[in-house]
Chains A and B, each alone.
Chain A
């Protein structure tokens, strides 16, 4: 192996292993291409501003004297920024080091020599694919005004407007929707082209030798055909001979057909894609949630849980394989996706970090088979996510437990417990029921002892809860995993503990704020 090949291979391995290089590349990739990356929207906003600024300067320059600074800014600064963006996109579009490593390992396995020529062809193919993409061509055209001495090229500033396609997702959706009808559009284009060609030639033949006819050249005939078939009909160029008018009649009739066909194509493309577009919108919305509950299934209990959680300002995503139930969820105002919660593919499509963004997965179908399947699917992908599942038949409890559910809710158990408490501890039941309901005005809340709280409040006597007319029912001690009821004044308050308080809802809110902000100190 020659020195050059060795050098390329060594550099490639070094780059591939370099955390700094990979992180930098990943950062720029996210910034430029990853829609769910939080900084991308700021970057896109910045680029859109530059585009509009650039076009504004161009328009203003037509009839006004513009400060040289702005001309320079438009031609040089903005162009350089676009050039940097183009280069970065070129860089992140593919990885040369990965190609080198792949080729080297392939060669080692087959005992072949490393070929720089092959590498060059491979890399060039990858990069050319990017360079020749429509978006990249528009990017390149947007940089051209940099050569400001060619004044004509300044009009190319308008190409910068096309760059908006990159930053505005709805444009991309529009193009992708129309792309689904590519074949129909090509057919339509062919049909229209033939009509235009035939009618242009015909009308030219009929009219060109007539001195009173405005159609003297083939270009006139072509112009007339386009104006007529599009049903615009300026009337500046019209056929005067009877033969020419017959051609006109045919073109006008065909024009109506072309228009009707193209309109129906666009409409059908959008109606066919509507559900998919809504789905994409939901996925996009959900990816913006910092944390949300994923509810699998939307039947009786599930819809109630979703409504309660929403009323407490939690974000919800409903997932169900049944279209009817998803329609109900959407009607109720939830983000809902017609995906099967039992399929790994559904979670992959979501474009979220489940372990970070999902507070809990709630398997609430009224079918143990479905809930076990969902639980197993989620658990197979994420070990830590909290899963709560509904159980319909006691004999399946074990299966649900093995599948990995953290909490199992069995409604028949609940009926038994309720009946038992009604006859055994009626008052306890009623009091707790009233405490739970939000109508009594009195609430029970748990307050997590955060770093901030624990750094200022060390003991129960420092809480000053009496001042806020809030009763401390007890403390859940994290370390001992135990509830201390009515703790003595000198009980320590540690990080991660929970304070369980009772009181008027408003007073609790004030107390909570005070403890967290420490305003009473």
Chain B
């Protein structure tokens, strides 16, 4: 099993405000090195401007393995920052926050890997809680709380019974105690096994299964068919 948590990368937080401080707190478990950048003079953060001179940054950090959070309060400046970072660092993971969908579209065009429109995300969360309280509770448990249920990505490496079968035809729950949500294959886009386009997919060695289940069942399943692996998550939902 590969090590999922990599503590060597650096997290760069652009913007000194309550959001960036909250992010800093939340990601401290993974990044030893978290650097805060501010447009203003601030003793607790590094100062930066929106010029294209990122040499200092490049000298100090391994930008290819780092992650940047663009959390400037002004959407226009945030977009400019994202564009500037992307033009200088092709492999930098950029997560940008903005107020609404309009900003989100621009940030995506500017090259952010993941964009979170705060108003829409909060509104979606509220409406989910109202429309599907149980589903939201379960999903919330998996994502944000210490639940026994986990989602993991497991690569099919060993010769398993289900190779050559369609994913929906396998009784995953009964046989392995897990439920397969999605299958990722090299040649096709990742999709849920329950979607119509996944109907004709056959499982083959090298495919990555996104599974949900109790920790112990996932580990057992993993030992049976292959290993847990990192995938490029930005392939999802883009």
**Interface set of A (CB-CB < 8 Å, partner B):** 293, 300-301, 304-305, 307-309, 312, 314, 359-360, 362, 364, 388, 390, 407, 409, 411-437, 440-442, 444-446, 469-474, 476, 483, 485-486, 489, 498, 500, 502-504, 507
Flag if A428 contacts B150 (CB, 8 Å).
Answer: yes
Chain A residues, CB < 8 A from B127: 305, 308-309, 312
Q: Chain B's nearest CB lies how many Å from the CB of A403?
A: 18
Q: Chain A's nearest CB lies how many Å from the CB of B185?
A: 15
Residue of A nearest to B148 (CB): A485
Give the residue of B25, B114, B195 whose beta carbon is less than 8 angstroms from that of A440: B195
| Given A301-B119, A423-B30, A433-B236, A428-B126 contact (CB < 8 Å) | no
28 A-B contact pairs sorted by A residue (CB < 8 Å): A293-B130, A305-B123, A305-B126, A309-B130, A359-B130, A390-B122, A412-B18, A414-B118, A415-B23, A417-B26, A417-B144, A418-B116, A418-B121, A419-B69, A420-B26, A422-B114, A435-B139, A440-B237, A441-B195, A441-B196, A444-B135, A473-B212, A476-B134, A476-B137, A483-B141, A486-B173, A486-B179, A486-B213
Q: Chain B's nearest CB lies how many Å from the CB of A313?
A: 10
Give the residue of B144, B150, B177, B192 whose beta carbon is less than 8 angstroms from that of A486: B177
Q: Which of A293, A314, A360, A436: most chain B CB closer than 10 A?
A: A436
Distance, CA A440 to CA B29, complexed state (A):
32
B33 interfacial contact with A, CB 8 Å = no
Flag if A300 contacts B182 (CB, 8 Å).
Answer: no
Segment from B80-88, B93-101, B104-112 that makes contact with A: B93-101
| Given A409-B122, A415-B118, A483-B141, A423-B67 contact (CB < 8 Å) | yes
Flag if A440 contacts B143 (CB, 8 Å).
Answer: no
Flag if B139 contacts A436 (CB, 8 Å).
Answer: yes
Q: Chain B's nearest CB lies how many Å from the CB of A407?
A: 6
Flag if B141 contacts A430 (CB, 8 Å).
Answer: no
Give the residue of B18, B31, B128, B141 whose beta carbon is less than 8 angstroms from that of A423: B31
Q: Chain A's nearest CB lies how many Å from the CB of B35?
A: 15
Give the residue of A359, A472, A504 whose beta carbon is less than 8 angstroms from that of B194: A504
Given A433-B237, A442-B192, A472-B173, 9 more pairs with CB closer than 8 A: A305-B123, A360-B130, A415-B118, A427-B152, A427-B153, A432-B143, A432-B151, A471-B173, A489-B174
Give the residue of A417, A422, A469, A489 whose beta carbon is less than 8 angstroms from that of B95: A422
B224 interfacial contact with A, CB 8 Å = no
Contact mask for chain B residues 138-149; partner A; CB cutoff 8 A; 1 contact, 0 none: 110111100001
Chain A residues, CB < 8 A from B126: 301, 305, 362, 364, 388, 409
| Given A418-B121, A427-B236, A412-B22 contact (CB < 8 Å) | yes
Q: Which of B121, B123, B144: most chain A CB closer than 10 A?
A: B123
Chain B residues, CB < 8 A from A437: 237
B48 interfacial contact with A, CB 8 Å = no
Give the residue of B25, B122, B133 whose beta carbon is less than 8 angstroms from that of A414: B122
B125 interfacial contact with A, CB 8 Å = yes
* Shortest Cβ-Cβ A-B pairs, 5 listed: A304-B123, A430-B236, A428-B151, A426-B233, A420-B26
| Given A413-B22, A415-B22, A500-B135, A485-B149 contact (CB < 8 Å) | yes
Give the residue of B67, B142, B194, B233 whose beta carbon is less than 8 angstroms from that of A442: B194
B54 interfacial contact with A, CB 8 Å = no
Flag if A420 contacts B27 (CB, 8 Å).
Answer: yes
**Interface set of B (CB-CB < 8 Å, partner A):** 5, 11, 18-19, 22-23, 25-27, 29-31, 67, 69, 71, 95, 97, 99-100, 114, 116, 118-135, 137-139, 141-144, 149-153, 168, 173-174, 177-179, 181-182, 191-192, 194-196, 210, 212-214, 231, 233, 236-237
Flag if B18 contacts A429 (CB, 8 Å).
Answer: no
Chain A residues, CB < 8 A from B5: 424
Chain B residues, CB < 8 A from A422: 95, 114
Q: Which of A407, A471, A485: most chain B CB closer than 10 A?
A: A485
Chain B residues, CB < 8 A from A309: 127, 130-131
Distance, CA A428 to CA B233, complexed state (A):
9
Flag if B138 contacts A500 (CB, 8 Å).
Answer: yes
Distance, CA A485 to CA B69, complexed state (A):
35
Q: Chain B's nearest CB lies how many Å from the CB of A310?
A: 10
Distance, CA A10 to CA B186, complexed state (A):
90
Distance, CA A426 to CA B210, complexed state (A):
12
Chain A residues, CB < 8 A from B18: 412
Flag if A425 contacts B19 (CB, 8 Å).
Answer: no
Chain B residues, CB < 8 A from A417: 26, 143-144
Q: Which of B95, B134, B141, B195: most chain A CB closer than 10 A?
A: B134
Distance, CA A442 to CA B119, complexed state (A):
24
Q: Chain B's nearest CB lies how many Å from the CB of A460?
A: 10
Flag if A423 contacts B121 (CB, 8 Å).
Answer: no
Distance, CA A240 to CA B68, complexed state (A):
98
Distance, CA A277 to CA B179, complexed state (A):
56
Distance, CA A469 to CA B153, complexed state (A):
23
Q: Which of A305, A422, A435, A469: most chain B CB closer than 10 A?
A: A422
Flag if B67 contacts A427 (CB, 8 Å).
Answer: no
Q: Chain A's nearest CB lies how many Å from the CB of B73?
A: 12
Chain A residues, CB < 8 A from B143: 417, 421, 425, 428-429, 432
Distance, CA A390 to CA B119, complexed state (A):
12
